[in-house]
Amino acid sequence: MSVVMKREIYEIERYITDNIIIDVNYVEEFTNKHGEIKELKAFYIYSLYKTNQIKTANDALLTLNISEDFEKNSFFLMVKSLVQLSNETDIDQLIKMLESYLVVDNQRNNKWLRLELFKLYEKKEIDYLAWGYLEDAISIDENFYEAILLRAQRLDLITNCSDIINQLLQLPQSYVDSDILNFLGNAFLNCNEIDNAIKIFNGSLEIGITEEAYYFIGYINHYHLNNYEEAMFYYDKSISTNNQFVDVLLEKAWLFFDMNLYESSETLFKEIVGSHDEINSYNQITLFYLKTRKYIEVVNYIEKSKIRFGENYMNQGFELVYLEKIKEDSYVKKYHLYKEKYSQNELTWFRDLLAEL
């Protein structure tokens, strides 16, 4: 392969690497301009696949003149399998085929093959294999931005906030949108870098209005700056953007509580439970009633939670707190049963809850 051909292939591969949103028309024009380089057609078909234009990708695949060299090209073989088997419900066959191409890729150059295997194993929820392929992909190209982003998004936002910040700051401008900035701002917030978090969330709003950015600015004013007026302003902005965003509704209810507006807080919690039939809504209203010592309502919502979601460490934990608060004799026995039933992390949750109340 000539130096010119290698340069053109590198250019289009780098374009797909550097841009999270692929302009398929640009890739097609570039491919047609250098029609003698058949490898470029494989990248064009892959760009169609990545933008979910499967029929067009399949049509383009049928027009491709496959040479003997192409049958030894792991990237082409990968693209062909992805396009032809993309609608299969059983992904095991696709995984088997892609893994067979790892042998073809004997010099370990195909980062895309490892990325696709990561995605497939993640769908199967086999995390240790998925993660291994993701790390392999990044080891091939340390500037493999899609893989870097996927890795950052799967780290724990609290315990790995510094790692997330470092990885997201590697991304080029073409990857930066409101969602990425909200994720980055959340990482700064969890690392207690409040000034940086506010800057990032404001930067997100400059790109596009999202309920998350308004919510997080409200959250910072609520819990870090104790500026309740600003917190209410931004919570309401978030709600006006998406009135079904349950996180901001719950925090607004707690803001009412912190402002000693208990009736408003209770009313909103009840509205949330009525419109969002999920376990966290029940947990939050139960916690509210524990804090306001309305024990009849505590018992009421614990029982509703058990009926709706079954017994779990949270509703049973709330029940234990209730028993401890009313100095019920059965507390000690039930606590020992709780310790036997649940993990150390769940016990820590309960002890933190008890200490809070």
Domain membership flag for residue 107: no
Query: Which residues, including other chains, have CB under 8 Å from residue 119's CB and lie 6 or more apart?
Result: 130
Domain membership flag for residue 162: yes
**270 alpha carbon, distance to own chain's centre:** 29
Q: Let me know if 35 is exposed, middle or buried by CB neighbors in 10 A (0-12, 13-18, 19+).
A: exposed
* Average pLDDT estimate for 173-178: 94
Domain membership flag for residue 178: yes
E-assigned strand segments in 102-249: none
Domain membership flag for residue 180: yes
Q: Which residue has the higher pLDDT, 88 or 29?
A: 29
pLDDT of residue 3: 66
Number of domains the chain is built from: 1
Domain membership flag for residue 194: yes
Rg value, the chain, Cα: 26
Domain membership flag for residue 323: no
Compute the distance between CA of residue 74 and CA of residue 225 in angstroms, rounded to an integer: 55
Going by the DSSP 8-state scheme, the letter that residue 173 receives in this structure is G
Q: What is the pTM of this model?
A: 0.88
- 289-312 tens-digit pLDDT: 999 999 999 999 999 999 999 999
pLDDT of residue 68: 64
Domain membership flag for residue 275: no
Compute the distance between CA of residue 44 and CA of residue 61 in angstroms, rounded to an integer: 10
Range of the domain at 185: 155-205
Of 29, 27, 71, the C-alpha closest to 50 is 27
Other Cβ atoms less than 10 A from the Cβ of 29: the count is 11
- 227-286 tens-digit pLDDT: 999 999 999 999 999 999 999 999 999 999 999 999 999 999 999 999 999 999 999 999
- 309-357 tens-digit pLDDT: 999 999 999 999 999 999 999 999 999 999 999 999 999 999 999 999 9
Q: Let me know if 34 is exposed, middle or buried by CB neighbors in 10 A (0-12, 13-18, 19+).
A: middle
Of 331, 305, 48, the C-alpha closest to 339 is 331
Domain membership flag for residue 195: yes
